[in-house]
């Protein structure tokens, strides 16, 4: 019933699948400790489960799970118990006093420099697929949107006259309007005018970006596309779709944008998610500091 409830609220199949997986972990553990009645679960039970995840639970390769995975599993469980209380299936929420452990904040390891981004976006576009790919790369870098958000774009989400895009129901379930740069706009216009209908299998197809099969591009195809172009640049970096999002945010910060603007562009609900970019100090910033900071320009006597 809980998964059906989430489905009616518009959660995507991938989220439903992950939720089922996390709840299955809890159910299997309950069977192991011979706890069958959900109404008998207490705060102590949840804390024991938390210790189980940390000290005993293992992945298929016998490795312990990451701290962030434990947080996600517990967060899923807290949402589930909140649902049970709301629908009067249990009286009290045993997870309400459970504090989630703090996860590590991982800095993006691989991002493009501004020069590398320029090289990536300078790829020649001759065939219909090349023109499509250039539009995709320009749009990813210009807007910092997630890969899934790009795949979900429909024709009516584009407002090229006002140079904006409506991103619908992204990861944090809040729509947003994002601006696109002039070069990205030109690349998308060129794709729409010259290539999209050549690729479309059906005239009524509403997806913006079309795959080789003539239907909406998938995340798998998008990942392959980005990897292919990165290989052409012969970069010694593990650059993927999300790396372009990180690169967009980092380059905006390097060039003077404030965090609030970047937060709105990326669709972060919390400023903390955006503040991580202030901890990235690539070579461009180091060079700027040594060249322009007054203390760095003083000669050592």
Rounded to whole angstroms, the Cα distance separating 158 from 220 reads: 23
Domain shared by 205 and 268, yes or no: yes
Lowest mean pLDDT among 53-57, 150-154, 260-264: 260-264
Q: Choosing from 49, 80, 191, 277, which is the catalytic residue?
A: 277
In a domain, 108, yes or no: no
Give yes or no for a contact between 116 and 285, defined as CB atoms under 8 angstroms apart.
Answer: no
Q: Among residues 70, 86, 102, which one ends one of the domains?
A: 86
Q: Give the percent of the chain with pLDDT over 90.
A: 43
Query: What is the extent of the structural domain holding 47?
Result: 2-86
Q: With beta carbons less than 8 A apart as the criterion, state whether 244 and 226 touch.
A: yes
State the pLDDT confidence band at 218, using cuts at 50, 70 and 90: very high
On whether both 139 and 283 belong to a single domain, the answer is yes
Query: What residues contact 161, with CB distance under 8 A and at least 6 apart?
Result: none
Query: Within this chain, do residues 203 and 126 fall inside the same structural domain, yes or no?
Result: yes
Residue 136 and residue 68 share a domain: no
Residue 295 lies in a domain: no
Residue-level pLDDT at 277: 65
**pLDDT band per the 50, 70, 90 thresholds, residue 59:** confident
Q: What percent of the chain has pLDDT over 70?
A: 84
166 is known as an active-site residue: no
Question: Averaged over 196-204, what is the pLDDT?
Answer: 91
268 part of the active site: yes
**Mean pLDDT, to the nearest integer, of 19-46?**
90
Contact in structure between 131 and 191 (CB atoms under 8 Å): yes
What is the pLDDT, as a whole number, of residue 153?
94
Virtual CA dihedral for 211, 172, 280, 254, nearest 10 degrees?
A: 80
Given this model, what pLDDT does residue 291 score? 59
Q: Judge whether 242 counts as a catalytic residue.
A: yes
Options 196, 245, 246, 251, the catalytic residue: 245
Q: Which residue has the higher pLDDT, 267 or 56?
A: 56
- In the prediction, which pLDDT does 19 show? 93
Q: Are 112 and 234 in contact (CB under 8 A)?
A: no
Of 21, 171, 220, 260, catalytic: 171
**Does residue 8 lie within any of the structural domains?**
yes
Phi, psi for residue 286 in degrees, rounded to 5: -60, -45
**What CATH number did the domain enclosing 68 receive?**
1.10.150
Q: Are residues 121 and 82 in the same domain?
A: no
Separation CA 201–CA 194 (nearest Å): 15
273, 166: one domain:
yes
pLDDT (tens digit per residue) in 6-28: 888 878 788 889 999 999 999 99
The last residue of one of the domains, among 68, 86, 104, is 86
Whether 110 sits among the annotated catalytic residues: the reply is: no
Identify whether residues 230 and 271 lie together within a single domain: yes
CA separation for the pair 208, 194 (Å, rounded)? 13
Name the token pair of 45: 């039970």
**Chain mean pLDDT for the chain:** 84
Burial of 248 (0-12, 13-18, 19+ CB in 10 A): buried
Same structural domain for residues 132 and 276? yes
* Cβ neighbours around 118 below 10 Å, total: 11
83 versus 174: the higher-pLDDT residue is 83
pLDDT at 230: 92
Please check the confidence at residue 81 and state whether its pLDDT lies above 90.
yes
- Is 60 exceeded by the pLDDT of residue 38? yes
Overall domain count for the chain = 2
Asked about 88 being catalytic, the answer comes back as no
pLDDT reported for residue 173: 63
Catalytic residue from among 146, 185, 196, 251:
146
Let me know if 49 is a catalytic residue: no
Query: Looking at the domain assignment, is residue 94 inside a domain?
Result: no
Structure tokens at 156: 């009516």
**Per-residue model confidence as pLDDT tens digits over 220-244:** 999 999 999 999 888 888 899 989 9
Predicted model pTM = 0.64
Is position 107 within any domain? no
CATH number of the domain residue 130 falls in? 1.10.443.10
């Amino acid at each position: 019933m809980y998964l059906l409830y989430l489905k009616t609220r518009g959660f995507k199949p991938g989220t439903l699948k992950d939720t089922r997986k996390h709840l299955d972990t809890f159910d299997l553990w309950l069977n192991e400790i011979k706890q069958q009645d959900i109404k008998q679960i207490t705060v102590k039970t949840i804390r024991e489960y938390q210790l189980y995840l940390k000290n005993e639970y293992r992945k298929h390769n016998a490795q312990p799970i990451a701290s962030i995975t434990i947080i996600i599993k517990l967060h899923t469980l807290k949402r589930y118990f909140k649902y049970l209380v709301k629908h009067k299936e249990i009286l009290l929420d045993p997870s309400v006093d459970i504090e989630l452990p703090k996860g590590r904040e991982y800095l993006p390891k691989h991002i493009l420099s501004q020069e590398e981004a320029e090289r990536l976006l300078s790829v020649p576009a001759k065939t219909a697929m090349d023109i499509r790919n250039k539009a995709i790369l320009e749009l990813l870098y210009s807007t910092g949107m997630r890969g899934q958000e790009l795949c979900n774009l429909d024709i009516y989400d584009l407002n090229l006259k006002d140079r904006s895009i409506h991103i619908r129901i992204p990861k944090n379930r809040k729509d947003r309007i994002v601006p696109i740069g002039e070069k990205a706009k030109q690349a998308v216009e060129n794709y729409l005018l010259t290539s999209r209908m050549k690729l479309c299998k059906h005239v009524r197809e509403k997806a913006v970006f079309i795959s080789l099969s003539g239907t909406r591009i998938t995340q798998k195809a998008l990942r392959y596309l980005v990897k292919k172009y990165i290989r052409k640049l012969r970069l010694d970096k593990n650059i993927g779709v999300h790396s372009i999002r990180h690169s967009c945010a980092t380059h905006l910060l390097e060039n003077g944008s404030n965090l609030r603007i970047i937060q709105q562009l990326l669709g972060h609900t919390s400023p903390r998610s955006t503040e991580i970019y202030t901890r990235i100090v690539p070579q461009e910033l180091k060079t700027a500091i040594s060249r322009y900071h007054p203390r760095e320009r003083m000669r050592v006597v």
